[in-house]
Structure 1
Amino acid sequence: MQPSETIGTEETRPAVVGLVVVYCKGLAMGAADAVPGVSGGTIAFITGIYERLIRAVTSLDPSVILLVPSLRRQRGRQEFVAELQRMDVPFLMAVGTGMVTAVAILARLVQFALSALPGPTFAFFFGLIGASAVALFERGWVYQSGPAVAALVGFSAAFLVAGETATGTFPHSFPVIFGAGVLAISGMVLPGISGAFILLLLGQYDYMTTTLNEFIDEFIAVLQGSSPDAFLDAALTVVVFVSGALIGLFTIAFAVRAALERYRMATLAFLVSLMLGALRYPAIQVTETTSAWTVPRVAALFAALVAGLGAVLLLDYYTEDFGYEADA
């Protein structure tokens, strides 16, 4: 008889089928995180795996590596597998594989859109980010000193950083890419904040999507017998980013989670206002990439903006409520 497990609902499924379902939910999370505005954490919340994801991430214990030498014995292998199951590693692998698959596929589409239609693409991003911020914003924050100050700080910081990003101040150096990975991983564990949005804010979004596509293309070329030099260059950038993401998973994500538990309203006000302030960047990009404000081009920008707004508002409608409550 095949083992069963419960994935996010009361329904019990065979374990393999359950992991396939989780993989599909990971696909949806990766698709969300690949586009600035919608958070993979939001999708996890909607699909019912958010709390399990948080528990699994916070249950990871590096000391499991100490069991590796005992894998030569059957008992050691059983203990190792049991420990991985206790930490819900199969679940995390299914989610992670789904996310990576979606990001790899969408990165090429986004790169094409940014190259062929930069104005409408950034208008679409503006709609996504703006609607996400509005959907999550609570008017009550304005009338409470803590959340109001946090909101002002978040908006001001993002507005200034967005201006610096638009002028190309942030380089594509390894320290910046590492830091971007540290911060971007927060989008996986937070409803409302997109990892792609953070990359966009730091001026690394277009660069990283291009690099990821090069990494995939050059890997295929190496398998076909080409020189590995270009692949190694792209791979080094990807490794630096992923290393930052892993560090962020055990630092920034935990810190934000602790902040949400202790100062929930102030933290949420800061995060949402961060998104509002960041709207400066796509707005600048729309104006700079639109050479002539003709009726057809304005119509295309407006249509892209409405599409972004509609996508998030539709998602918010079916989400109903994130369950954000006032601080105790």
Structure 2
Amino acid sequence: MREFLVVYLKGFSMGSADVVPGVSGATIALILGIYDRLIRAITAIDPRAFRSAVRVSEPAERAALRAELERIDATFLLALGLGIGTAIVVLSEVLYTAVTEYPVPTYGFFFGLIAASAFILYGEIDRWTGRRVTVSVAGIGLAAAVTGVTQAGVSHGPAMIVLAGAVAVCAMILPGVSGSLFLLILGQYEFITGTVSAFVDGLFGLLTGEGLASVFETGTVIVLFALGAVVGLFTMAHAVRRALERYRVTTLAFLVSLMVGGLRLPATEVSSNLDAALRADLAVAVVAGIVGVGTVLLVDRYTDGLEYAKPHR
């Protein structure tokens, strides 16, 4: 139980980072010394191995299921997942309030986080080749283009929510890249944090006699997002991991360039929310950005020297 609680608290720390664009939960896992264990556990999961769960009443199948759960480190994943989920639920309302009621300092802070993270990760690239420059330019252009489209208005339909979950979960693979940043680029960040906040409010509303309609509506979105995360875990996350193993630096250059292109969104949000008191608001945004940069530099200081990289190619 003590180990379960420790892992739960580490998961809470990861989840707290995952809610904030520009700070990666994988980076926190690296700092806390559980990154390698996390990657091993995730990539060990094989849905086909759980066929024994259908016949769990049989002793042999029950023993096989227990052995499989031990093999994938299920207790560790459960504790970590509960911690991450708790943090997301607790902090989503705070972040939703921040982006809707205080957009200038909030997006200024996000800009600083993302820019500093990109700068540090670009430092991981030891040598720039033609291919790396090409994929970097493509990454910046792609993220900037997608951000421009999503800012003009984007669907929050089932397909987009599933896609957002699948893309966001890939951030678990690479320290420094934030899943929340991908939600920003896809235009889903405010919607998802608002939905989680409304879901929690709906659950508390049940205690005061309110109906199930709000819980059912927001809960459906959360289930779709979780479904996307599961799908991404067995598809996109594995593909990113293989790309990192074979072409780490080129893949890193592309992912970091997505971050740079994604800076268009917080910059636009800051500029579009400046009122008549331009200088005062702009100063607040700049200070918030500096705080964001300082936060990333502090995290980077504690990860300096921690090895997670695969051989360069």
TM-score by length of 1: 0.90
Equivalent-residue separation in structure 2 for 1:286 and 1:321 (angstroms): 35
Runs (4+) off by over 4 Å:
73-76, 139-142
Correspondence 1:172-251 to 2 at 5 A: 172-251=156-235
Equivalent-residue separation in structure 2 for 1:205 and 1:258 (angstroms): 27
Q: Which residue of 1 aligns with 2:56?
A: 71
Give the alignment partner of residue 49 of structure 1, picking from 34, 43, 53.
34
Quick check: 1:20 aligned with 2:5? yes
Quick check: 1:265 aligned with 2:249? yes
Name the aligned partner's letter for residue 112 of structure 1: T
Quick check: 1:100 aligned with 2:109? no
Quick check: 1:60 aligned with 2:45? yes
Over 3 Å counting, the alpha-carbon distance change for 1:271 and 1:50 in structure 2 is same
- 1:118 to partner: Cα distance: 0.7
**Residue 72 of structure 1 aligns to a residue in which SS?**
coil
Equivalent-residue separation in structure 1 for 2:133 and 2:186 (angstroms): 24
Equivalent-residue separation in structure 2 for 1:113 and 1:37 (angstroms): 16
- 1:73 to partner: Cα distance: 5.0
**Residue 6 of structure 2 aligns to a residue in which SS?**
helix
Residue pair 2:50, 2:68 contacting (<8 A) in 1 also: no
Question: Mean Cα displacement is larger for which, 48-57 or 184-193?
Answer: 184-193
- 1:299 to partner: Cα distance: 2.4
Equivalent-residue separation in structure 1 for 2:169 and 2:86 (angstroms): 16
- 1:177 to partner: Cα distance: 1.2
Q: Describe the superposition over 1:220-271 as per-residue Cα deviations: whole angstroms up to 9, x where unpaired.
A: 3235432211211111111111111110011110000010011111000001
Quick check: 1:115 aligned with 2:96? no
Name the aligned partner's letter for residue 255 of structure 2: L
Q: Describe the superposition over 1:62-121 as per-residue Cα deviations: whole angstroms up to 9, x where unpaired.
A: 234322354335555444223211110111111111000001111011011112211110
Name the aligned partner's letter for residue 7 of structure 2: V
Q: Which residue of 2 aligns with 1:32?
A: 17
Over 3 Å counting, the alpha-carbon distance change for 1:326 and 1:137 in structure 2 is farther
Q: Which residue of 1 aligns with 2:293?
A: 309
Equivalent-residue separation in structure 2 for 1:73 and 1:173 (angstroms): 42
Equivalent-residue separation in structure 1 for 2:217 and 2:103 (angstroms): 26
Residue pair 2:275, 2:281 contacting (<8 A) in 1 also: no
Over 3 Å counting, the alpha-carbon distance change for 1:102 and 1:307 in structure 2 is same
Residue pair 1:199, 1:205 contacting (<8 A) in 2 also: yes
- 1:51 to partner: Cα distance: 1.0
TM-score by length of 2: 0.94
Over 3 Å counting, the alpha-carbon distance change for 1:240 and 1:139 in structure 2 is closer
Correspondence 1:105-184 to 2 at 5 A: 105-138=90-123, 140=125, 143-168=128-153, 170-184=154-168
Equivalent-residue separation in structure 1 for 2:23 and 2:295 (angstroms): 9
Unaligned stretches of 5+ residues in structure 2: none
Name the aligned partner's letter for residue 316 of structure 1: D
Residue pair 2:21, 2:110 contacting (<8 A) in 1 also: yes
- 1:142 to partner: Cα distance: 6.2
Percentage of identical aligned residues: 42
What is the alpha-carbon root mean square deviation over aligned residues? 1.8
Residue pair 1:165, 1:281 contacting (<8 A) in 2 also: no
Name the aligned partner's letter for residue 152 of structure 1: V
Equivalent-residue separation in structure 2 for 1:130 and 1:233 (angstroms): 36
Over 3 Å counting, the alpha-carbon distance change for 1:151 and 1:49 in structure 2 is same
Residue pair 1:127, 1:309 contacting (<8 A) in 2 also: yes
Over 3 Å counting, the alpha-carbon distance change for 1:112 and 1:225 in structure 2 is same
Question: Mean Cα displacement is larger for which, 188-197 or 66-75?
Answer: 66-75
- 1:196 to partner: Cα distance: 0.6
Over 3 Å counting, the alpha-carbon distance change for 1:322 and 1:65 in structure 2 is same
Q: Which residue of 2 aligns with 1:286?
A: 270
